[in-house]
Amino acid sequence: EVQLLESGGGLVQPVGSLRLSCAASGFTFNTYVMSWVRQAPGKGLEWVSAISGSGGSTYYADSVKGRFTISRDNSKNTVYMQMNSLRAEDTAVYYCAKDRVERTSGSPNFENWGQGALVTVSS
């Protein structure tokens, strides 16, 4: 059974930093694109970032480019999101999501999701 468990959410002040982690199990981690998708309170879904199975390719939404960095440690089956220069508009539930199929290139669908980690940016 695929499991994705996010951690690291919490309250942070504007311009502060936070690192989210997503621990994965139940599949061959290093062959799947992994993504972060967020949802502000009462709002819709926003794709944030994705990383290829090897970690060699990364992709970002314009809203976070230059502030957020996605990475993965395939030895630990974990994907990370380092979030710097946080703003109030980054307040959201952050979901970790796994692609539907193994692929070495191309863009993902989101077949499996974690339970989400709440990030609140406020003074």
Partner 1 sequence: EIVLTQSPATLSLSPGERATLSCRASQSVTKYLAWYQQKPGQAPRLLIYDASNRATGIPARFSGSGSGTDFTLTISSLEPEDFAVYYCQQRSNWPLTFGPGTKVDIK
Residues forming contacts to partner 1 in the complex (CB under 8 A) are 35, 37, 44-47, 50, 59-62, 95, 100, 106-111, 113-116
Query: Which residues have CB under 8 Å from 40's CB, separation 6+?
Result: 46, 89, 91, 92
Rg of the chain over Cα atoms, rounded to whole angstroms, equals 13
Distance from CA of residue 98 to its chain's centroid?
Answer: 10
Instruction: Pick the closer one to partner 1 by CB: 48 or 86.
Output: 48
Taking the least distance from each CB to partner 1, the nearer of 73 and 111 is: 111
Least distance to partner 1, CB of residue 115, Å? 6
Give the residue with the Cβ less far from partner 1, 75 or 106. 106
Query: CB neighbours (10 Å) of residue 119?
Result: 21
